[in-house]
Structure 1
Amino acid sequence: MIDRRNFLTLAGVAAGSTLILPTASLAQADISPEAVFHDPKAPALGNPDGDITLVEYFDYQCPYCKSNHPVVEKVTKEDGNLRVVMKDWPIFGAPSVYASQLVLGAQSMGKYEAGLEALMATQGKLSNDLIEKTLSEAGVDPDKAMAGYKANRKEIDALLSRNDAQAVAIGLRGTPAYIVGRDVYPGAVDADTLRKAISDARQA
């Protein structure tokens, strides 16, 4: 756990050589609370008017993101007043980037959550064919999702670059990573840890 009093000012190192998105200059990375918690282009789940926001940096090929996703869902549903901001950080290679592009592109179809849930339920590494098959089976047309991405490419690419720059500037070294209130929680977390983090943030 990293205190947010530190993450607002510290610059970290890149997650590793698997990162293929262009990394913005750390001097340009905005890691203010407004930028991290309230990026208007970042998808938000849970209660859009929730009093506490949980931010998750994730990759669709990250096994820990996938295994921990039901925990986040459970706590979100239990709480009822939690807003969850999803920050795509595709650091595991080209299929991760492709998955993020399609699911973010599916927002224009109202299918973001369906795409997210479908890919989070997959096992192991992804290929472009598996991504498309998984999305199709979930009712998300890959061609339409890609059309949605292309129509909003400038905004989506800018969002992915912001997410990357923030993650690097905060000092994250991999996925998943969660930010709640004052603290950063790197790696998978259990339900009780999330509940306590949310409770502490409400009391702060």
Structure 2
Amino acid sequence: MPTVEQVLFDPDIPVLGNPDGDITIAEFFDYQCPFCKSGHSELVDVVEKDGKIRLVMKDWPIFGAPSVYASSLVLALAGQGKYSDALHALMATKGRLEKSEVDSVLAKAGFDPAALVEAYRKDSARVDAIVARNMDQANAFGFNGTPSFIIGTKIFHGAMDAKALTDAVAEARAG
């Protein structure tokens, strides 16, 4: 079984929200998952309003090649400080994505898809290792699909609205 440190504090995965927060939310997600995408803005709102939550997005591309492609490009941005812009742009889309749509959405968000592909190629060992670790962790936890969350150290299966997220954070803080 993966450790809390391995899952919540993987140094290769960017931290959104408060990097020094007292509670971590890890969401195992896919850029094509309709439930992940429909709940993303609520998740971000809860994190921002609280101010003391670390948010770790765990790419788990289970919906095929376009998901792997999107994850690869966005994770290649991790060291450039623009990860969240690309992540939020793709999470704002509706429905399934094709490779061309991933490129189009990222281009509209100000990114050069060809440059992102090149960045991924240069950093593919690190990026592929992140996705593999996330896959192994999701399997170890018995996740059946996306989204799946770990809040504090408690596992939650399926979509969570703002109230469920807030309640889970409060429960984690209460210990």
Scaled to the shorter chain, the TM-score interval is over 0.9
Aligned to 2:98: 127
Letter in 1 for 2:60: W
> Quick one: distance in 2 between partners of 1:108 and 1:46?
17
TM-score by length of 1: 0.83
* Match among 131, 147, 151 for residue 118 of structure 2: 147
1:144-185 CA distance string (max 9 Å, x none):
211211111111111100000000010000000110123111
Question: Percent identity over the alignment?
Answer: 49
Superposition map of 1:59-138 within 5 A: 59-138=30-109
Aligned to 1:178: 149
- The Cα of 1:109 is off from its aligned counterpart by 3.3
Larger Rg: 1
Gaps of 5+ in 2: none
> Quick one: distance in 1 between partners of 2:165 and 2:135?
23
After TM superposition, the runs of 4+ consecutive aligned structure 1 residues lying more than 4 A away are none
1:16-38 CA distance string (max 9 Å, x none):
xxxxxxxxxxxxxxx11111111
Question: Is residue 165 of structure 1 aligned with residue 136 of structure 2?
Answer: yes
> Is the 8 Å Cα contact of residues 4 and 153 (structure 2) preserved in structure 1?
no
> Quick one: distance in 2 between partners of 1:181 and 1:106?
26
* Alignment: residue pair count: 175
> Quick one: distance in 2 between partners of 1:67 and 1:48?
24
Structure 1 counterpart SS, 2:21 = coil
